[in-house]
Amino acid sequence: MNPTLTSPPRRVTIVDVARHAGVSVASASKVLRDAYGVSEEMKERVRASMATLNYRPNAAARGLRGKTFTLGVSVPDIDNEFVSALVEGILSVTEPTEYEVLIGPAGNASSSQAKVIDAMVDRQMDGLILFSPYGSADRIAEIAGSTPTVVVSRHGASRVYDTVVGDDMLGARLAVQHLIDQGHERIAYVTHSDGDQTDPHSPQRVRERGYREAMSLLGLEARIDVVPSTWSRTGGTQAARTLLARDELPTAVFAGADVAAFGMMNVFGEHGTRLPADVSLVGYDNTSVAQLRPVSLTSVDQDASSLGEHAAQLLLERIDGRSEARHVVITPRLEVRATTGEPRRTDGAAD
């Protein structure tokens, strides 16, 4: 027989599983749904048959019965070590469960993020984790009204969804205070300028407020220097070139995010600008790359893995029926490494 004319193998159904396990279809379905009233012996028998037959539940059919056992995670991009650590934290909580996590790179525009989130809702995902989403609180509340939702890294509490954030105001103050303690006064801050620039709850706006307040409280209001860019390697590259084009380079830069700091480090290296002899550099997120000895970036650690773990746990609780809102704030700490030191002398010589 011509193999191209053979029919594809038939998909194994719950009926096949029940027959193989020697139980009723209703009992096998209860095991699949982890429903109440099923003995451990029956669970083991049915699950063994599922494994033997390589049974895969039909997600669409499960959705019709109320659950798809899928969780959606919307992130601006996946080219960021912080996002990877966040997802690892989420997976550490969900892996022992029946839920599958699907990642949606949503970009840095309100329209692209809305498209991804709407697609997740339309596919009847059982819950959503939204990382630093754009859009109004009312829009997020509308989403949470139909799908259990946890928002990560966007400030502002809500009564209808949970939030998990790092204390970005404190983190920015830690960075600025460290540089001032080293003797710096001309400290630039690289902000993220994509997306909604009017949203006061975004991490970039909150960190900028922390930077501005720290500079003002320490008598350096006249030295405030905000450099618009993006928190990406490309954005860091652009920010470094902007600073190098000035008549005088600031003695220190708070890059706002590690990923931007990495781009800055590349450009500074190409131009022979030494860290920290010519300029000190502080990142934010304390990513695994920042901790590598050749990089050794001073950075604010907000524990991305812990953010993910908290978000996943809160979401599972929401799915299980908890209705009261919970809001978790992670306290950051500063990890001092080789990219910060005393400022260069005014005559241009290194200390």
Write out pLDDT tens, residues 300-335: 999 999 999 999 999 999 999 999 999 999 999 999
Q: List the CATH number of the domain containing 7.
A: 1.10.260.40
Q: Which residues contact 293 (CB under 8 A, 6 or more apart)?
A: none
Peptide bond into 3 cis (omega under 30): no
Q: List the CATH number of the domain containing 309.
A: 3.40.50.2300
Q: Alpha carbon of 28 to those of 13, 97, 138: distances in Å? A: 11, 18, 42
Q: Which residues contact 143 (CB under 8 A, 6 or more apart)?
A: 117, 121, 128, 130, 149, 161
Query: Do residue 197 and residue 262 come from a single domain?
Result: yes
- Asked if 82 and 257 touch (Cβ cutoff 8 Å), the reply is yes
- Asked if 176 and 254 touch (Cβ cutoff 8 Å), the reply is yes
Q: What is the pLDDT of residue 108?
A: 79
Mean pLDDT of 125-137: 93
Mean pLDDT of 268-289: 97
Domain membership of residue 204 (yes or no) is yes
Q: What is the pLDDT of residue 66?
A: 60
Q: Is the pLDDT of residue 348 over 50?
A: no
pLDDT digits 0-9 by tens, 210-244: 999 999 999 999 999 999 999 999 999 999 999 99
Q: Alpha carbon of 251 to those of 8, 184, 187, 243, 340: distances in Å? A: 67, 6, 6, 11, 10
Rg of the chain (C-alpha set): 25
Query: Do residue 172 and residue 294 come from a single domain?
Result: yes
pLDDT digits 0-9 by tens, 35-72: 777 888 888 898 899 889 888 766 555 554 568 899 99
Domain membership of residue 16 (yes or no) is yes
Lowest-pLDDT range of 8-12, 51-55, 264-268, 279-283: 8-12
Q: Is the pLDDT of residue 99 over 50?
A: yes
Distance CA 313, CA 290 (A): 27
Q: Alpha carbon of 313 to those of 129, 163, 179, 197, 307: distances in Å? A: 11, 12, 36, 31, 10
* Mean of all residue pLDDT scores within the chain: 90
Query: Do residue 86 and residue 195 come from a single domain?
Result: no
Lowest-pLDDT range of 51-60, 97-106, 208-217, 280-289: 51-60
Q: What is the pLDDT of residue 1?
A: 44
Distance CA 70, CA 101 (A): 6
Which range of residues forms the domain containing residue 191?
A: 168-302
Q: Structurally, how many domains does the chain consist of?
A: 3
pLDDT digits 0-9 by tens, 9-39: 677 888 888 899 898 888 887 787 677 778 8
Query: Do residue 288 and residue 197 come from a single domain?
Result: yes
pTM of the model: 0.81
Q: Residue 94: what residue type?
A: T
pLDDT digits 0-9 by tens, 183-211: 999 999 999 987 656 688 999 999 999 99
Distance CA 303, CA 308 (A): 9
Query: Do residue 31 and residue 99 come from a single domain?
Result: no
More confident residue, 297 or 345: 297
Domain membership of residue 131 (yes or no) is yes
Q: Is the pLDDT of residue 347 over 60?
A: no
Distance CA 202, CA 122 (A): 26
Query: Do residue 158 and residue 198 come from a single domain?
Result: no
Spatial CA neighbour of 82 closest among 294, 337, 333, 301: 301
Domain membership of residue 336 (yes or no) is no
In terms of DSSP H, where are the helices of the chain? Answer: 14-21, 25-33, 40-53, 59-64, 81-94, 110-122, 137-146, 168-181, 203-217, 233-244, 258-270, 304-319
Burial of 66 (0-12, 13-18, 19+ CB in 10 A): exposed
Query: Do residue 96 and residue 115 come from a single domain?
Result: yes
Q: Is the pLDDT of residue 7 over 50?
A: no
Domain membership of residue 175 (yes or no) is yes
Domain membership of residue 342 (yes or no) is no
> Between helices 40-53 and 25-33, what is the axis angle to 10°?
90
Distance CA 90, CA 150 (A): 12
Query: Do residue 187 and residue 110 come from a single domain?
Result: no
